[in-house]
A and B are shown apart, each in its own frame.
Chain A
Amino acid sequence: MHMADALLSPAVGVTLWAGSAAVGGYASRKLRDRIDDRLIPLMGVLGAFIFAAQMINFTIPGTGSSGHLGGGMILAVLLGPHAAFLTIASVLTVQALFFADGGLLALGCNIWNLGIYPCYLVYPLVYRPLAGEGRRPGRILIASVLSAVIALQLGAFSVVLETVLSGRSELPFGAFVLLMQPIHLAIGLVEGFVTAGIIGYVASARPEILESVAAARPVSAGVPLAKVLTVFALLTLFTGGALSWFASTHPDGLEWAIERVTGRGELPEAEQGVAAALKGFQEKTAFLPDYGFKPAEGESTAPEAAAPAWPGVAAGTSASGVTGAVIVLALVGLIGLGVRFAGRRDSDSTP
């Protein structure tokens, strides 16, 4: 459930980048203050471990489809919140750069969705109280499953919010939530069982190894509970308030509300800006000033009547847009081929 650049508006993308960067800075500062040197190679190798583990597939029972590990909760359990957060952020960065999962602008969203929730909310508030200090398999199982489910639900819900707030997708909030949450409930359950299986296996095969990892953590790896609870309460109030407000409005009202909230109402304005610039450009470059309105005069009135609130895109503009796009594509292709050809010839002639 990696967020993609193409679905983001710059405002949402940059805001979440800022949020994730701030938390990253906080985590780095916390770690720098009281770090055990051992933690540095440990974090790095565990990040690589998540990749390696993701390369191993397994069959999901009853479906025949195959799944792989997400790994956020395992890192939180092994490393504690700050180190786990930085490790997850590094994994997502490498995924964005090497596998093009998500994108670089969406990286902020992805770190937020997949890093902050498991490390700073679910681990201290759900996993630690439920699993306790003991290594009892039953408690580990319950804690892992619940944690993975909650973390993924929060993450999936954030993907929905980010997409809807960006306004690039036409999917209405309600339908998108209904699509995303159940899928991620299933994924979360599988992830939870697998996480419990891995932790349980390591705890039974090499119990001392988990203790030595725990010893390398910063001394007070735990986030102060009061602080977390305050933040969590505020978040709950906010989302609860927003949700009940969404739920109480008519679907159309919802769309209206989102437009109001996100300022998607700016969109026509922006297009007017482009249209205005275009008009000026047209006046300067027009060979046949009235050509733009020539094609399909009769046809173009009907769609315009059907979509009265459509600024800036007249039939003529779109026709020249299509022509221009084809020409630009051809030009870009030619430039690329030309540069490549020139490069080849150079490298052929030099040796």
Chain B
Amino acid sequence: MSFDAAYFDLGRLDRLSYGETVMHRLDPRAKVIATGLFLVTVVSFPKYDVAGLVPFLLFPVLAAALGDIPIGFILRKVLIVSPFAVFVGIFNPLLDTRTVAVVAGLPVSAGWLSFASILAKFALTVSAALLLVATTSFPGVCHALRRLGCPAIFVSQLLFLYRYLFVLAEEAMRIVRARNLRSFGGRGRGASVFARLVGILLIRTLDRAERIYRAMLSRGFAGDLPTLRNSRAGSGDLAFAAATAILLGVFRFLPVTEGIGRFAQGLWS
């Protein structure tokens, strides 16, 4: 992914969180807790279980539909980060060749099953994280974390990082453009020029930190970042969290997919 694309993608995910839908209006804490439960449930499936994971797709699909988040955008981001999981998982079919099932005359090895399970878990967990940000906004997640007991200094660190991420990304973008204009045929793209460029970026960053600090002092900063936003979890938020938990439990402990499959085959024959 090119630099500009990375930058605009970042901004796009941020802009999606400005939406005003049912999903966006839920209390951030409810969404953070629901996402956490979802992740642990998905990951807790045994190694060879694929069918049981399929119903969980309902959660990201519903969240994206209700939150009016473009599915293609989320899918593209999932694909971009998939190489590590694919790289590690692809060894399963090669190393675990026991045949466990015959589907339509083709033998299926245990390795393919566990690989498919890894891929399914990967898509589910990654899209859950992306959808949490896209429907909650990063500051929303941070304030939820603060009220769920995360140390104040870490939360203000996250908020600061987020605030200056876009500023410094633009700074870096200018540096990259300037270098590209001057590096015909790849000259000047080596490590030594890179170290100097990043060194300059670091100096500018440190100077900026000093200016920010002075500006904050002059506005009465005393070591804490208080928030004026005081969201209160309503009954709707509780209902959302409870419904998520119950549905997760049903999908985890009852063989939903097999049941539906058996039902359909029963109708067929």
Contacts and interface: CB of A to CB of B under 8 A. Distances in A.
Please determine whether chains A and B interact with each other in the same assembly: yes
Interface of A: 1-2, 4-10, 13-14, 24-25, 28-29, 31-32, 35, 37-38, 40-49, 51-53, 55-61, 66, 69, 74, 86-87, 89-91, 93-94, 96-101, 103-105, 163, 167-172, 175, 190, 193-194, 196-198, 200-202, 205-206, 209, 212-213, 267, 270-271, 274, 277-278, 281-282, 285-288, 291-292, 296, 299-300, 302-303, 306-307, 310, 313, 315, 317-325, 327-329, 332-333, 335-340, 343
Contact of B165 (A10, A94, A193): A94
A333 B71 CA distance: 11
A7 B122 CA distance: 8
A319 B108 CA distance: 12
Contacts of B48: 271, 313
Interface string B23-57: 00000000000011001101110111111101101
Interface of B: 3, 6-7, 10, 13, 21, 35-36, 39-40, 42-44, 46-52, 54-55, 57-58, 61-62, 64-66, 68, 71, 77-78, 80-81, 84-85, 88-89, 91-92, 94-96, 98-103, 105, 107-108, 110-111, 114, 117-122, 125-126, 128-130, 132-133, 138, 141, 151-154, 156-165, 167-169, 171-173, 175-176, 179, 186, 189-203, 205-210, 212-213, 216-217, 221-223, 253-267, 269
A321 B171 CA distance: 52
A100 B78 contact: yes
Nearest to B136: A97
A198 B264 CA distance: 64
6 contacts: A6-B89, A163-B88, A170-B95, A190-B191, A313-B48, A335-B62
A285 B64 contact: no
Given A40-B153, A197-B196, A94 B138 contact: yes
B59 to A, nearest CB: 9
Nearest to A343: B68
Contacts of A267: 46-47
Nearest to A37: B223
B133 A69 contact: no
Contact of A313 (B100, B120, B125): B100
B158 A167 contact: no
Given A52-B168, A53-B198, A100 B126 contact: yes
Contacts of B84: 1-2, 4
Contact of A5 (B125, B138, B255): B125
Contacts of A292: 262
Contact of B129 (A104, A171, A325): A104
Contact of A324 (B81, B191, B261): B261
A59 B154 contact: no
Nearest to A14: B40
A6 B119 contact: yes
Nearest to B101: A318
B252 to A, nearest CB: 10
Main secondary structure of the interface of A (DSSP, over half): helix
A101 B126 CA distance: 8
Contacts of A306: 98-99
B203 A169 contact: no
A9 B156 CA distance: 31
A69 B95 CA distance: 34
Nearest to A306: B99
A44 B161 contact: yes
A1 to B, nearest CB: 8
Nearest to A1: B84
A100 B190 contact: no
B154 A28 contact: yes
B122 A91 contact: no
B266 A288 contact: yes
Nearest to A203: B199
Considering residues A4, A38, A42, A45, which has the most beta carbons from chain B within 10 angstroms of its beta carbon? A45
A307 B54 contact: no
Contact of A47 (B94, B160, B192): B160
Contacts of B43: 5-6, 8-10, 13, 105
